């Protein structure tokens, strides 16, 4: 399988970069993983709704430009479907079974995802109702993808 993670903004924190690199390395025997960072838009603290929409639209255009037409798109969204690790593993396994070997996970910027990106998604996935920084979400996501592959293979992984 080919796993693509598209995120808004550049990771600067060394501990996040190192953690993500470790899980990408662990995923090597199971899947090809490609992480794409698209530039974020400047988003001042106080913006009108129209300005926020424009920021999300521009970031969304950059995200969509990185996703192949045959990719199965999973958008991370607060209002998405919550899945357990086992359910995510079964979902990914089902995609592979039915020939959907390219999966693109999308993480928006600080304002979330553009409506066009959400419309492109075949699954909106929630990691719970708590708000997490989008940079930290990349680490959480790549760990859960690794966990999903371990579950799919029936291999042990700490609980």
Residue ranges for the binding site for S-adenosyl-L-methionine?
A: 76, 108, 127-132
Q: What is the CA radius of gyration of the chain?
A: 15
Query: Which residues lie across from 5 on neighbouring strands?
Result: 35, 105
The distance in angstroms from the start CA to the end CA of the chain is 24
Q: Which of 11, 143, 122, 25 is nearest to 77 (CA)?
A: 122
Residue 28 tokens read as 């090597």
Question: Which residues make beta-bridge pairs with 112?
Answer: 109
Q: What is the largest CA-CA distance in the chain?
A: 49
DSSP character for 20?
H
């Amino acid at each position: 399988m080919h796993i693509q993670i598209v995120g808004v903004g550049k990771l600067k924190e060394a501990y996040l970069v190192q953690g993500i690199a470790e899980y990408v390395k662990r995923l090597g025997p199971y899947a090809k993983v490609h992480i794409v960072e698209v530039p974020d838009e400047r988003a001042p603290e106080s913006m009108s709704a129209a300005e926020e929409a424009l920021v999300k639209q521009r970031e969304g255009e950059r995200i969509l430009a990185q996703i192949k037409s045959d990719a199965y798109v999973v958008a991370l969204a607060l209002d998405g479907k919550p899945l357990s690790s086992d359910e995510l593993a079964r979902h990914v396994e089902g995609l592979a079974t039915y020939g959907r070997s390219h999966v693109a996970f999308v993480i928006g910027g600080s304002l979330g995802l553009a409506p066009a990106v959400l419309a492109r998604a075949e699954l909106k996935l929630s990691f719970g109702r708590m708000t997490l920084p989008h940079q930290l979400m990349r680490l959480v996501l790549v760990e859960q993808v690794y966990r999903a592959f371990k579950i799919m293979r029936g291999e042990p992984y700490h609980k």
